[in-house]
Amino acid sequence: MINRFSFENMLSFKEPQAFSLKASAKKERLFDDSQNYVENAKDVKTLTSAVLYGANASGKSNLIKAFLHFRNFIITGNQNLDSMEFVVPNFQLDSEKAKMPAQFEIDCFWKGKNYRYGFSVVSAGIEEEWLYVKERRESEVFYRKNQSFTIPAKHKILHELTSKKMVHSKAFLVTIGAQFNDAACAGFLEWVHHFNIISGIEDRSYKAYTVKRMKESSAFSKKVVELIKFADFGIEDISINSFQGQNIKLTVGDSSSVELEPSTVDDLMSKRFVMNSKGIPELKEFHFGLFESEGTQKFAHIAGPILDVLENGSVLVIDELDTKLHPELTERLVLLFHNKEMNPNHAQLIFTSHNTNLLDAKIFRRDQIFFVEKDAFGASNLYSLADFKKDGKSTRNDENIEQNYLKGKYGALPFLGDFDNRLNR
């Protein structure tokens, strides 16, 4: 679970931003919010979900991309070290800021331990990097300033790696440490590899993963069907129909040709009750891609990643979760993560949305709702509803959040004044 993610000088975000998923001390009165957080440690309650709102081009997707760049730096940053420069998408609307490093830090909880890891990076290499781990109290694993390292004596593997100069200026010590079996580095890298970031718009690309998992495990296939039934599409069962694709011939030069072996294609099939000629209901099979709605197909395609994080207790970040989905269906997905029986391993969902129906004080706590807004200089800023104040007053725990958002009370709405003026000309 993510407790806090902070970053600076990344894409449209110029100043330091903090995305905190630690539950605030504020009380909610309209519903029992105990399902919306998990007590991971003493006096630390971590929220199981968060939603981000904002106008188009405000920076919502850039927050998701900040997560993605953070993860990809760590996973792929140690490849082709001598020839590669890091691609660092800094804030470009300020010439001085564009020359400065991008910085990230994440505070996360995984398998009984709290990790705090961060780094600052420029195209030429890593300027700073640090890792701390906490079971009872936080202790330093390493701190790095360029190629100077501070490492406590108990981390012998990291001492050996740095003393033998085995850490390149563009190589992340946490990744190398994990490869050489330093326990703290390996534990954190395991969490990183379970950190899932997907696009809700390109849902068809996840169909293959869902189908693969269903073919591998009948138990997983059963869970997909249960999830579909939970969404109440009227589907009784789902099966996989595998068939051979067509032969393909490629002509080489003037006369010779190469025939490619046909590949196996897997398709989903849904089963629904239909009335036969005698008025008796019986199951009939339908081709999923032809007969099911776009929303139903999307739900099935992303069922694999959703069930995966629910199984592993990991994090799922989705940009544009509600695309193609009915508002009630999006709500049901969120409530999966708020249900301790459906989410016993404390998985976490973070997503962007334009669906204001979710702005309901009976679904989300105020600290689970975030807004992104650009200022007059093109810089994005992130803030939560729990921290928002207007005229010195905080948001009440019983106010109509959706209505107030649409009225512009919390900001983060598109400015349509000029658009309206042009229409009225």
Reduce the DSSP state of residue 307 to 3 states and report it: helix
DSSP annotation of 181: T
Tens digit of each residue's pLDDT (9 = 90 or more) over 333-381? 899 999 999 899 999 999 999 999 899 878 899 999 999 999 999 999 9
Mean pLDDT, residues 81-100:
87
Interacting residues of 241 by C-beta distance below 8 A, sequence separation 6+: 266, 267, 268, 269, 287
Query: Does residue 252 have a pLDDT over 60?
Result: no
Positive or negative CA dihedral for 67, 70, 71, 76? positive
Tens digit of each residue's pLDDT (9 = 90 or more) over 377-410? 999 999 999 999 887 788 887 888 899 999 899 9
Tens digit of each residue's pLDDT (9 = 90 or more) over 269-311? 999 999 988 889 999 999 988 988 888 899 899 999 999 999 9
CA distance 193 to 115: 14
Give φ, ψ of 50 to 5 degrees.
-155, 145
Name the pairing type of β-strands 348-352 and 369-374: unpaired
Q: Which residue has the higher pLDDT, 392 or 178?
A: 178
Name the pairing type of β-strands 237-244 and 248-252: unpaired
User: Dihedral (C-alpha) 218, 222, 224, 229: value to the nearest 10 degrees?
Assistant: 160
Give φ, ψ of 362 to 5 degrees.
-100, 0
CA distance 121 to 189: 19
Reduce the DSSP state of residue 338 to 3 states and report it: coil
Residue 6 · residue 105 · CB < 8 Å: yes
Calculate the CA 62 to chain-centre distance.
Answer: 12
Query: Does residue 421 have a pLDDT over 60?
Result: no
Helix 303-312 and helix 294-301, axial crossing angle in degrees, nearest 10: 30
DSSP annotation of 99: G
Structure tokens at 226: 């249960």
User: What is the percentage of the chain residues whose pLDDT exceeds 70?
Assistant: 91
Arithmetic mean of pLDDT over the chain: 88
CA distance 11 to 101: 12
Q: Which residue has the higher pLDDT, 233 or 210?
A: 210
Structure tokens at 271: 């089963």
pLDDT at 80: 60
**Single-letter code of the amino acid located at 96:** E
Structure tokens at 191: 């969490």
Q: Within a 10 A sphere around the Cβ of 170, how many other Cβ atoms?
A: 19
pLDDT at 399: 85
Domain positions in the chain are 2-197+342-406, 205-301
pLDDT at 83: 65
